[in-house]
Chain A
Amino acid sequence: MESTFNLNKFLKAMHKRKALIIFVTLAFVVFAAVASYTIMKPVYKATTQILVNQNTVSSQDVNSLDINTNLQLIGTYNVIIKSPAILTTVIEELKLDETAQSLTERITVTNIESSQVVTLSVEDSSMNQAVILANTIAKVFQEEIQQMMKVDNVSILATAEMTASPKPIRPDPIFNMAIGAIVGLVFGVGITLILDQLNTTVRSEEDIEEMPGLQVLGIVSPVDSNLKMEKPLNLSDRLEKDNYADSEQDKKINATKIGGSY
């Protein structure tokens, strides 16, 4: 068994089984679509923005020292927002039926390119709930931070808004179907390759030429059974007759026919 990779053979095999490959690919796409639209629960995301800045009334000019201090603070704040200290208060306030731990997992806090703006996002299976959560967390954080750090440098820049027809961030059916198509294609090609490897019959002239000591003298294609005879044959209508000398009885019958064949 030589298993040298032959591109031409590979492509031929693919071409022969293209129906299978297409079918498997489509099956995966359909599966991805069904899963996206029915099985997976949609997840919504609400975002608020918090500005971290010293509200100094005295000095109007912003000096870089302040900004730097604030930037260092942001790192700390990011952790604080997700801390149980804040979240237990939120859970109590909203009478949620979950732990601070599970709520933490649904929160992402980022600040873009060391700006002083912190983005707080909350994911939830209901958009409404996500909005309420995001806003409550921002509010509680703003209140708590004053007590914790003895500063009042957090202001809410943008509250989360409930839109008329919110779009879920997950699942993304188009993306899922694209992934499904790729996986299906790989799968189909894989099946084809395996089937091709499993088929150990002679299927082409190359298969014979690969065997040392053998050459192909020629090929004979199957005769189309609908082929009309080009000339009438008295043989042909006799093909249907039982003319076999299989049994003793047949032999007796045929024995009388000797010489009468033509």
Chain B
Amino acid sequence: MRTANKTKRLMPRKLVVRTNPHSIAAEQYRTIRTNINFSIPDLTSKIILFTSASKEEGKSTTAANMAIVFAETGKRVLLIDADMRRPTLFRTFQLVNNTGLSNLLLGKGNLKHSVKASGIPNLDLLMSGQIPPNPAELLESDILDELMGEMRELYDYVLVDSPPILSVTDAKILANRCDGTVLVVNTGKSEKVSVEKARDSLATAKAFILGVVLNNYPLTSENYYYHNYND
């Protein structure tokens, strides 16, 4: 195990869908995939935002695993790290955050050259890019709309990982432009009040809330149904 360092470091994201495709958690992600598909409008390509009320509820882990399960279905998937304040995607996939979303929003480079291969079929990644001083203003720019248009042409699913909605305004701006928003809630940690505030915040942004993913949900006997199902 990694020892605590001077600087606060996040644990590498657990891509359980990749490491244990038959685990209970992996099946749960697939269930969420199905439910998202049922609740999102029938578009040719879908841009889905992942956010949470506050930090460390599991947005990035959920987004990454969801990206993998969407890619499993043979659809072309792009996973974007839109958290330009505390980027994590490059760590999850052991890549380097040298160029990405912030560079594109500043008008440098193009989408096709900025995305990185994830090593997983059908899944491309777009890092956050260099950390800009003004992430919110960048997201407000018209370039984002153009980018989204390009993404729709290239991918069936675009999954966007964002900062917490109650901390900064970035997620609100994104939620307004995405087709649907998934709210990640850390079971037993997130306050009900915060979740309701996040919901109201998304409503203000005229976001389409797909629903809630309850992360770290204690395993109950019902879940064991999945066990031995494949064996």
A interface vs B, CB < 8 Å?
Answer: 200-205, 207-208, 211, 213-223, 227, 229-231, 233, 235-236, 238-240, 243-247, 254-255, 257-258, 261-262
Q: Tell me the nearest residue of chain B to A236, going by C-beta.
A: B19
How many of B's residues come within 8 Å of A, CB to CB?
63
Q: A222-B216, A227-B23 are in contact. Are A243 and B211 (CB under 8 A)?
A: no
Chain B residues lying within 8 Å of A230, measured Cβ to Cβ, are 19-23
Chain A residues lying within 8 Å of B213, measured Cβ to Cβ, are 216-220
Chain B residues lying within 8 Å of A239, measured Cβ to Cβ, are 12, 94
Contact of B192 among A202, A216, A217, A247 (CB under 8 A): A202
Q: Tell me the nearest residue of chain A to B198, going by C-beta.
A: A214
Q: Is the CB of B95 within 8 A of A218?
A: no
B interface vs A, CB < 8 Å?
Answer: 2, 7, 9, 12, 14-16, 18-25, 28-29, 31-32, 35-36, 39, 58, 62, 65, 90-91, 93-98, 116-117, 119, 182-183, 185-193, 195-196, 199, 203, 209-219, 223
A78 to chain B, nearest CB (A): 66
CA–CA, A218 and B35, complex, Å? 8
Interface centre among A217, A227, A244, A261 (most CB of B within 10 A): A217
CA–CA, A92 and B35, complex, Å? 93
Chain B residues lying within 8 Å of A200, measured Cβ to Cβ, are 191-193
Chain A residues lying within 8 Å of B117, measured Cβ to Cβ, are 262
Q: Is the CB of A201 within 8 A of B189?
A: yes
Q: Is the CB of B18 within 8 A of A217?
A: no
Majority SS at the chain B contact face: mixed
Q: A215-B211, A217-B39, A219-B214 are in contact. Are A202 and B25 (CB under 8 A)?
A: no
Q: Is the CB of B188 within 8 A of A245?
A: no
Q: Is the CB of B211 within 8 A of A214?
A: yes
Contact of B16 among A203, A223, A247 (CB under 8 A): A223
CA–CA, A220 and B24, complex, Å? 8
Interface centre among B36, B65, B191, B217 (most CB of A within 10 A): B217
Q: Is the CB of A221 within 8 A of B210?
A: no
Q: Is the CB of B192 within 8 A of A213?
A: no
Contact of A245 among B21, B96, B119, B183 (CB under 8 A): B96
Q: Tell me the nearest residue of chain B to A215, going by C-beta.
A: B211
Q: Is the CB of B20 within 8 A of A217?
A: no
CA–CA, A244 and B91, complex, Å? 7
Q: A208-B185, A218-B214 are in contact. Are A223 and B209 (CB under 8 A)?
A: no
B116 to chain A, nearest CB (A): 8
CA–CA, A220 and B213, complex, Å? 7
A-B contact pairs, 22 of them (CB 8 A): A202-B187, A202-B188, A208-B212, A208-B214, A216-B212, A217-B35, A218-B32, A219-B217, A220-B29, A220-B32, A220-B215, A222-B25, A223-B25, A233-B18, A243-B91, A244-B9, A245-B90, A245-B97, A246-B9, A261-B94, A261-B95, A261-B116
Chain B residues lying within 8 Å of A218, measured Cβ to Cβ, are 28-29, 31-32, 35, 213-214
Interface centre among B9, B16, B192, B203 (most CB of A within 10 A): B192
CA–CA, A140 and B196, complex, Å? 82
Q: Is the CB of B19 within 8 A of A229?
A: yes
CA–CA, A229 and B19, complex, Å? 5
A119 to chain B, nearest CB (A): 62
B125 to chain A, nearest CB (A): 11
Q: A217-B36, A217-B39, A223-B23 are in contact. Are A201 and B94 (CB under 8 A)?
A: no
